[in-house]
Amino acid sequence: MKPIISASEYVSESAGPRPPVLLDVRWQLGGPPGRPDYEAGHIPGAVFVDLEAELAGPAGEGGRHPLPDPVEFGAVMRRAGVGRDSSVVVYDGGQGWAAARAWWLLRWTGHRDVRVLDGGLAAWTGELTKEIPSPAEGDFVPAPGALPLLDADGAAALARSGLLLDARAAERYRGDVEPIDRVGGHIPGAVSAPTGENVGADGRFLPAGVLASRFTELGAAEGAREVGVYCGSGVSGAHQVLALELAGFPDAALYAGSWSHWTRDESRPVATGPEPR
């Protein structure tokens, strides 16, 4: 199944006999909480899910946005109406990072029918509502492990043996600036691949063929090389995993702790500059 859905496709499906469960996960890195924006107006039927509190565990040893406890994540999804056989559509404000995080978590925990609304709320031309839905309890039970996951050692090994993509902005990869984490730079051997280059000016994903060319130029080769992704804290990296799937490189591994976890241990090596090593 294609991991994204257009606004017009969603309208058509929502009018059918089995409308998708719709999740609003608006969030901004370092910005205010998304709940007030949701309450001010959202796509009809959307249930708000808080990335900081419900799509991540407490910040600490695991990084800034460690994976949530699967049992707690399952409870959140069931309260939102997600069932084992539900079709799920997720959107955010338009950047796509938060929506991709929810997409990745659902896929990682075994849900097969989940898509990101391409372009997010910015692509929605229909009405908005302030009405808060009360969905029936779902029956989705997470079964973690359906997508590959990397720890720090696995990411370091993959940077040597396969292709490890760094999804952060190029200046953070080079170490020119580091506005969030302890130190700038990148995991030695990782290749710079900013997430922002997966989308056009409208925030929608580039065509699959364009994405395939991009990742091929970065070193991906279908079926011939393992691919992994990391970012600052495992959010925009999920967007990169989704883009890779669109491009025909499914099941890329995510280093969920990412740079915020890597740099907590001062003994781990850090590379700077434009080259992988």
By C-alpha distance, which of 126, 113, 135 is closest to 5?
Answer: 113
Within this chain, do residues 111 and 206 fall inside the same structural domain, yes or no? no
Within this chain, do residues 236 and 177 fall inside the same structural domain, yes or no? yes
Q: Note the pLDDT of residue 102.
A: 98
- pLDDT > 80? residue 224: no
Within this chain, do residues 83 and 35 fall inside the same structural domain, yes or no? yes
Contact 152, 255 (CB under 8 A): yes
Q: Note the pLDDT of residue 161.
A: 94
CATH of the domain at 73: 3.40.250.10
Q: Is residue 273 part of a domain?
A: no
Within this chain, do residues 98 and 25 fall inside the same structural domain, yes or no? yes
Q: Note the pLDDT of residue 254.
A: 98
Catalytic residues: 231
Higher pLDDT, 277 or 98: 98
Q: Residues, the chain, total?
A: 277
Within this chain, do residues 188 and 232 fall inside the same structural domain, yes or no? yes
Q: Is residue 16 part of a domain?
A: yes
Within this chain, do residues 93 and 159 fall inside the same structural domain, yes or no? no
The domain of 160 spans 149-262
Within this chain, do residues 38 and 112 fall inside the same structural domain, yes or no? yes
Contact 114, 83 (CB under 8 A): no
Within this chain, do residues 102 and 169 fall inside the same structural domain, yes or no? no
Q: Is residue 106 part of a domain?
A: yes
- Coil, strand, or helix at residue 22? strand
Within this chain, do residues 157 and 118 fall inside the same structural domain, yes or no? no
H-assigned helices in 80-193: 97-108, 152-161, 170-174
Within this chain, do residues 170 and 109 fall inside the same structural domain, yes or no? no
Contact 66, 59 (CB under 8 A): yes
What is the residue type of 216? Answer: T
Q: Into how many domains does the chain fold? A: 2
Q: Is residue 73 part of a domain?
A: yes
Lowest-pLDDT range, 26-35, 124-133, 250-259? 26-35
Q: Is residue 197 part of a domain?
A: yes
Confidence of residue 223 (pLDDT cuts 50, 70, 90): low
Contacts of 191 (CB under 8 A, 6+ apart): 163, 164, 165, 166, 218, 219, 276
Q: Is residue 62 part of a domain?
A: yes
Within this chain, do residues 42 and 110 fall inside the same structural domain, yes or no? yes
Model pTM above 0.85: yes
Within this chain, do residues 155 and 222 fall inside the same structural domain, yes or no? yes
Beta strand pairing call for 191-192 and 163-166: parallel
Average pLDDT over residues 82-105: 96
DSSP secondary structure string for all residues of 37-80 = HHHH-B-TT-EE--HHHHSS--SBTTBSSPPPPHHHHHHHHHHT
Among 123, 157, 176, give the residue marking a domain's end. Answer: 123
pLDDT digits (tens, 9 = 90+) for 154-197: 999 999 999 999 999 999 999 999 998 889 999 999 999 999 99
Q: Is residue 194 part of a domain?
A: yes
Confidence of residue 61 (pLDDT cuts 50, 70, 90): confident
- From residue 67, give the alpha-carbon distance in Å to each of 15, 141, 220: 34, 16, 26
Q: Is residue 99 part of a domain?
A: yes
H-assigned helices in the chain: 7-14, 35-40, 51-54, 70-79, 97-108, 152-161, 170-174, 208-218, 236-246, 258-262
